[in-house]
Chains A and B, each alone.
Chain A
């Protein structure tokens, strides 16, 4: 999980209003809400700092108006931040000129949009091949690559269809195929499943996890749905009023919410789905059955109660770290806080 940092941002501000820069200068770069309000400036993103590691699914979660969409646009420089730095593979993206930025976007970034943003005049094949066409890849090569991507997202046979002929879920599959066609190093998904029906959303989430298990991309994923964040994330950043108020694994966020605002979200999340075996492991002698430390309690609970001897817990290298006690597991299943 802790690969090298792929994308980071430090102290990013995005202020909307006529006097945005002046307000920042006058408050030495750290205006509070009152200073912003007094100047008539809206703080869409306030002092955001985060690091996304290679190969992880990093989810930015927040309600509408929390600034998550603005933040992801700052990270891809679709919106110019008012202040701060964005480091992509170690270099400051905000210092890149038009040409370099174009090159980075062509070869290293992919983005999926909430409302799909497919080009209405191109077929599925044309849409997926479009980013390659922009790069000047010849027709045969780009169409072969596009066909590959279309098969990957399970739309084989629909190559000739036009966007308006597809359902929402299918359109977003096209959006996903298109964003993957260039083999991006970083993959932005801006509320990709929010416009879909709940059942389709679930299906697309599974599809997304399947793709990621194969592709192992570095992902920045935006959502307003906390359950979706818990389900998909390696790490979550929670935003409120433009600021990031907590960053951590789903387990950390659920078991140790930083503020009462976060606690509101986590209250109804079943603990068994987020608490991992490693957290509950106590010293003891394991029986023959051993589970990985990263496994969720919900997944291993049955074994704990079925086995006669204590179930062991081992870390990623296979070293035993302890055993699971039935009382601990029962507490988690009942939604109580873990006893320490």
Chain B
């Protein structure tokens, strides 16, 4: 107690010190903007002459790869084509099974073998759900897939599912192997970590550009992009899971005389199974997210339906397909989570005997699916749910939008315009007018204060790249949109988190909602936003806030919950009121964790921001997006890297702050 009283003035002074720096930075920025007319021209607008032709170098390197690169035995183009051929073959098989059926023979004699029956597939999925989860899960899965059937989304959903079925095993296998290599060899880990960091911060569209260039437009290119996008978390989780295997089990494996291979595959991987299955769940969810986005480079299915509808502003159709994606996402998430958390076997549940006996349920499922294909050939109803029985709510939603437009248009427009004119545009103007040496200087100083000269160099180097490539102004627009969205997300998310920790029921309910929101592919968020606010910066901001809200809430809950109980008790013993408890004890202690949540929020905001290019923003996202349309690899990669560098700068600075603060508070 006495220690606490003595300690009070000290942090006061320190926080005032920190505030002084903030204040100085703000004043400096403000003054420099106010005086921007009198500053030398090069400080306000980075001169064109100082740019470096990085974009065109990348573009010509890519052209060289495609046209002239030769590995001796084969050319680079032959190499990419053979990869395409292999994946195309797999993908066509999956499409045939799930969506299109197979045609054997040609012309009039062709026989069509129909795809797997919707009845049989739903039955198998429901049985699987029952096996790995409870009855609720089975009912939920049945409901989700019934929606797909009844609302006529089945065919598109199966195309999407087929891409996932093929890309997930490859993503998991690649992630697992790289993860194992990184676990075994420190130099692999050192090499892989920065690549993973970059891959997870580069916006998804940026992946699509070079892939579009190398593999052309179409479902195969989309699938390759999906695999590359979904593998990084598997790598990380594999390393984590293997590290987490108890030391004694590792030692036991060596004492049993395992060879390296035996040690990995018979001891480590099975012992790390639960962690690895979490990775599988991640890969499934990211694949789904990417398959939807990759509809821009030719992945068909639900993503294409949404995109197509959005382009025509056919909100009703888009919404229906969007709900289908949402249900598919939640169903896949719950199924793979349930499969990941199936308790280890109990005695007597594992049947011994031949392979057939041990796997009889799986065999029965395959037989059922095969039979359903045969039955579908005879009875059309089994193959395809008749179109005449489908329901569509498209018209209804269109009416809703129409009604909203008629009745709410004025109100929404007033609010929107007010916000735009009084808040958004001034901030945008400020960011654009802010001389670049000032901003870089402030960032470098912050880096130096928080983490020494290395962290000071980082924003300088990454900022230099943005300047040299001539993307500074667009980057500032990105920073403005992202920053504003993050502030709004924090203003909503943190109070929501505080509200949620009041009791356990609220916490659980809030977390469930957030979990569900986070499983939704980013694309889906655009639909209601366009429905209500049409296009523009404002719509983009709303979509970004909605998408990026989840981590702000989650980390607030987590941070408040992990405040050590004895400190809360000490506060109570000293007679803190509820408000004092929150503001003086719990929030300050939870702050480092909340800042990490804000960091996540920034990452998600940036990734969403690029997608909102679809609703007409003018930032780096638009650069990437238009590069995609023109298949301009250099432009796409450079703009993508610029977004990644903004993300990395924010990430490193916030992490450093959070670490420092935790160390100061002694809760590291």
Contact = CB atoms under 8 A, between A and B. Distances in A.
A117 B246 CA distance: 8
Given A113-B248, A115-B246, A119-B270, A130 B256 contact: yes
B266 interface: yes
Classify chain B: how many residues form its interface, as a range.
20 to 34
A224 interface: no
A111 interface: yes
Contacts of A49: none
Interface in A149-187: 158, 160-162, 164-165
Interface string A97-127: 0000011111101110111110111110000
B344 A109 contact: no
A73 to B, nearest CB: 8
A135 B350 CA distance: 25
Contacts of A131: 256-257
A164 B343 CA distance: 10
Given A117-B249, A119-B249, A121-B271, A160 B348 contact: yes
B91 to A, nearest CB: 33
A25 interface: no
A300 B277 CA distance: 62
A111 B346 contact: no
B344 A164 contact: yes
B257 A135 contact: yes
Contact of A115 (B248, B270, B347): B248
A105 B257 contact: yes
A165 B246 contact: no
A167 B248 CA distance: 18
Contacts of A130: 256, 266
Contacts of B271: 119-121
Given A119-B267, A120-B344, A123-B347, A78 B255 contact: yes
Interface in A268-282: none
B259 interface: yes
B56 interface: no
A130 B249 CA distance: 13
Nearest to A111: B255
Interface residues of A, number: 34
B244 to A, nearest CB: 13
Nearest to B269: A121
B345 interface: yes
Interface in B230-262: 246, 248-249, 251-252, 254-259, 262
Contacts of B346: 162, 165
A122 B246 CA distance: 16
A125 to B, nearest CB: 10
B347 A161 contact: yes
Interface of B: 246, 248-249, 251-252, 254-259, 262, 266-267, 270-271, 273, 344-348, 350
Interface of A: 73, 76, 78, 102-107, 109-111, 113-117, 119-123, 130-131, 133-135, 158, 160-162, 164-165, 188
11 contacts: A73-B251, A76-B255, A78-B251, A105-B256, A119-B249, A121-B270, A121-B273, A130-B256, A160-B347, A160-B350, A162-B347
Given A119-B270, A120-B270, 20 more contacts: A78-B251, A78-B254, A102-B258, A102-B259, A104-B257, A105-B255, A105-B257, A110-B255, A113-B248, A115-B248, A117-B248, A121-B270, A121-B271, A123-B347, A123-B350, A131-B256, A131-B257, A133-B266, A134-B259, A161-B347
